[in-house]
Amino acid sequence: MFDALKRLLAAGDEGGEWPALAAWAAQRGAQFKRSRDGAGFIVEGRFAAGPWRLEWGPPQRAYLNGPELRLRMELGLPQDLNMLVLSRPLMQELERSAFEQYTAQMQTRIDDAAPEEMRWLAMFPKVQPKAEKELRQAFGAVALSAKAAAAWIEGPLAARLIAASRGVLASAPPFVLMTLRGRLYCRLRLDAPDAAAVAEMVDLLETAAAQAVLAADGAIDRPDAGPATATTAWQTQLTPHDVQR
């Protein structure tokens, strides 16, 4: 009891303008830190599947066009298990941008400088999960292995995504959930990082992580090797210089 109180008090000092988020992180045993530049924050915690990291601050993707909530989790998934779920409006926007960019420049291949989200839409087949119409209307998906992606999305993750489409994603902001190089990533345009919205996305990440592990175990039709994905999915690394102490 005393240790829990100390964590709450410490989180309040660190939380600054986000005291509710700092308290939420402390209550679930996660660590809340302000980013070094003071423009955002970092939360680090752990699920049964492993440690996760959350950041909120300036966007790392141009299509977000505003503050970004991003989450990352090391899962040790197969390197070729490339799966992508994204909000339907964002999917249409990226497809249109890719078409305009490459036809205008008369390119014959996709530029490696483009983010995976854009390149995968052109390279991978679309996934049609056997899920509720509400899910298919709100989200789109592509993957190197359709079988693995269907196993990932259907069931518990589908339920989480539908719930999010009625909650934090109700206004259809740019949203991406993907597996890449053994990791799970999530990105969301989020102007106001209130505790309820962040908690909802962390819960979604936990479900997505558990289902990705199961999908990897059952994905027997994966090709031996997938296309190269050389761009950086996450620009920050956990070092002592990432945060204010």
* Per-residue pLDDT at 13: 47
Residues sharing a CB contact under 8 Å with residue 127, sequence separation 6 or more, in sequence order: 83, 141, 142, 143, 146, 149, 150, 153
Domain ranges of the chain: 35-218
Buried b or exposed e, range 59-80, using 16+ CB within 10 angstroms: bbbebbeebbbbbbbebebbeb
* Per-residue pLDDT at 109: 56
* Per-residue pLDDT at 123: 87
For residues 117 and 219, is the Cβ–Cβ distance under 8 A? no
* Per-residue pLDDT at 8: 39
pLDDT tens for residues 26-82?
999 999 999 988 889 999 999 988 899 999 999 999 999 999 999 999 999 999 999
pLDDT under 70: residue ranges of the chain: 1-16, 101-113, 219-245
The strand pairing partners of 236, in sequence order, are: none
CA atoms within 13 A on the CB side of 92: 7
* Per-residue pLDDT at 2: 35
Indicate the helix (H) or strand (E) that contains 165. helix 156-166
At CA 14, angle to CA 10 and CA 20, rounded to 5? 85
At CA 229, angle to CA 208 and CA 112, rounded to 5? 135
Residues sharing a CB contact under 8 Å with residue 226, sequence separation 6 or more, in sequence order: 79, 80, 82, 144
